[in-house]
Amino acid sequence: LDKKRIKMKQGETLALNERIMLSLVSTGEDCPFIVCMTYAFHTPDKLCFILDLMNGGDLHYHLSQHGVFSEQEMRFYAAEVILGLEHMHSRYVVYRDLKPANILLDENGHIRISDLGLACDFS
């Protein structure tokens, strides 16, 4: 993330919050349904989060390319989203940005929830 761009958009709070929330959900036994952070660091110009590689696109892209999902596909994705949300809730994190663009797919078609910038800690 470019620090100048973050400051221009007044996103310092969101970037810091995302790092904190990723730390909360990525510790211990990680959940396979959340994009986890392995490491975070910064340079003079950049803020860097090392996250799981998700190279299958997002649900928004797949919906725009293929139209509606079948009931079986929707149940599969919904179940994985629910398991990801349950994991966050077990860590006292509330996810507040659930939308198709924030549901990423891996190379095997499994989902992971991403973008925890708006999440909050309710412990």
Catalytic hit among 30, 45, 58, 97: 97
97 catalytic? Reply is: yes
Q: Which segments of the chain are extended strands (E)?
A: 37-42, 47-51, 93-94, 103-105, 111-113, 120-121
Contact status, residue 29 vs residue 91, Cβ threshold 8 Å: no
CA 9 to chain centroid, in Å, comes to: 20
Catalytic residues: 97
